[in-house]
Homo-oligomer: A and B are copies of this chain.
Amino acid sequence: MPLTPEQKAEIDRLRAETAPTRRATVPALEDILYEAIPVLDHGFVRVIDYMGDDAAVVQAARVSYGKGTKRVNEDRGLIHYLLRHRHTTPFEMCEIKYHVKLPIFVARQWIRHRTANVNEYSARYSILDNEFYIPAPEHLAAQSTSNRQGRGGVLSGQEAERVLSLLRDDAERAYRGYAEMLNETERGEAIDGERQGLARELARMNLSLNFYTQWYWKTDLHNLLNFLSLRADAHAQYEIRAYAEAMIGTVERWVPMTAEAFRQYRLGGAQLSERGLAVVRRLLAGETVTQEESGMSKREWSELMAVLGRKG
């Protein structure tokens, strides 16, 4: 359970208050505002604030004085057109802010997306909680033998047990060392009056990368979709994908037309190369094409056959 009762109460208080606004408002997203959507064993994603809706995309594309919307069908068609033709700036007119609790190694992948605003909990200033990520047994994957950057089958038996106990023991020991070096209670008092306590900014280095951190992360809809298309992809590491999938759910509530176009043109589509396109045209013309004459590498060829739903 990622939240303390005090945190839960604070969130309930926020959710209980409403105020009238003239801004674009999305009831389906308001319904879950501030609520923590659980991810992994101790993490979460919470929508904290948002600006704009599907109509704001339309309005920006038309640079209009009012809402810019016409009939629902035309708006939907315009949003699909914009996404299909890479007219990205209207989607930048919507903004969303999340509060995320996540393991540090996930945070390190995430932060590579630079077009976002971030405020992270500071372990120079504050003391981190004793919370770390341990994979569920079904996610305890072996190294892939075919892909250096991927997972193979799930570990089982003694090896799985050993890995889980090793991860847990080392994390617990790391936190004990951290706490001992700090020599500080939660109220900032010394545990051992004889010792000064190591500076927080130094002590934190004893923690391992599966400890949880948290941050506020804010980005626009265009960059969010980029992030999601990369991190909800099958090649992304499972742990960050779990966050991306939770966030796609919030996008569907927030901007349903854009979310639909995103599935249609980004998540569900495929990019064909010049050679790939040539192969498709020849196949459609009834020709037989082999990998050798396609000019493609074996790997590329098998990627293409997978996209086309054919055997290599």
Q: Which residues of A contact B (CB under 8 A)?
A: 3, 7, 10-11, 13-15, 17-25, 27, 30, 33-34, 49-52, 56, 59-61, 63-67, 77, 80-81, 84-86, 89-90, 92-93, 95, 97, 99, 103-105, 107-108, 111-112, 114-115, 117-122, 124-126, 133, 135, 140-144, 148-153, 155, 159, 162-163, 166-167, 170-171, 173-174, 177, 180-182, 184, 194-202, 204-210, 214-216, 218, 220, 230, 235, 237, 263-265, 267-277, 280-281, 283-284, 297, 299-300, 307-310
Contact = CB atoms under 8 A, between A and B. Distances in A.
A284 B283 contact: yes
Contacts of A84: 271, 273, 300
A130 to B, nearest CB: 15
Nearest to A167: B206
A187 B230 CA distance: 30
A280 B280 contact: yes
B21 A65 contact: no
Contact of A66 (B11, B180, B199): B11
Of A95, A141, A143, A267, most B-chain CB atoms within 10 Å? A143
Given A118-B89, A205-B208, A174 B174 contact: yes
Contacts of A184: 143
Given A65-B11, A149-B125, A201-B237, A51 B143 contact: no
Contacts of A300: 80, 84
A297 to B, nearest CB: 7
Contact of A273 (B33, B173, B264): B264
B201 A149 contact: yes
A144 to B, nearest CB: 7
B22 A20 contact: no
Closest 3 CB pairs of A and B: A268-B274, A92-B117, A10-B66
